Amino acid sequence: MRITDAGIVGLHLFPGHDRRVMDYVLHNEEIKKICLRRSIFQSYVSLRIALKTNVWLVKNTPQAKNVKPDPVKIRFSVPDFERFEKELQQFWSHVIGELDKTQQDYCALWYRQISNMKIISRCAEFVGATSRIDRLQQKLKKQNVARLADKVMNYEDLEAYAKARGMEKHLL
């Protein structure tokens, strides 16, 4: 994030984004970084649903409040998940590695912490916000809010896989 005349401006980098842009952002010490992460299984399922529906974000407008999306389920695939996991691990290894190598501070934030105003305030202060944050503006509507078990056709396969790898905590 960077403080400009317009206020605080941010962007979200994802695995697969242009490496030149990513490296520019990572090496520019004027740009403050918040490393927002989420459960590996939630990330996988969310991406698969977006690929299936081609819906990547929904704005929180008055019209959107009345729209109830059809529940979409995906099929868990071990090879597909393991490719995703490897790519995500490489992404975070690169991001954190570059920040450590350049000795830059960053604010670590887990998706499940977004509603914790104390943590959000800490991140806001880190990027240079001068006013207190009492609540978040909901410009985007949260998608795929169902439980993980309700978004995966073969959830029992995902659950067995997670248990076999000692990753049960990531199912929450």
Average pLDDT over residues 137-148: 69
The string of pLDDT tens digits covering residues 101-132 is: 999 999 999 988 888 888 888 888 888 887 77
In total, how many domains does the chain have? 1
Q: Does residue 1 surpass a pLDDT of 70? A: no
Look up the domain containing 112 and give its range: 2-171
The pLDDT of residue 6 is above 60: no
pTM, two decimals, is: 0.81
Residue 141 pLDDT: 56
For the chain, the residue count is 172
Please say whether the beta carbons of 42 and 148 come within 8 A: yes
**Cβ-count burial of 172 within 10 angstroms (0-12 exposed, 13-18 middle, 19+ buried)?**
exposed
What are residue 2's DSSP bridge partners?
Answer: 9
Range in 3-12, 24-33, 120-129, 163-172 with the lowest mean pLDDT: 3-12
Alpha helices in the chain (DSSP H): 19-27, 40-53, 62-65, 78-101, 117-127, 148-151, 155-164
Rounded to whole angstroms, the Cα distance separating 167 from 128 reads 36
Exposure of 103 by Cβ count < 10 A (0-12 exposed, 13-18 middle, 19+ buried)? exposed
pLDDT at 143 over 50: yes
Closest CA to 118 of 130, 106, 136, 105: 136
Give the pLDDT of residue 14. 85
pLDDT tens digits, residue range 22-53?
999 999 999 999 998 989 999 999 999 989 98
62-91: average pLDDT:
85
CA 30 to chain centre: 22
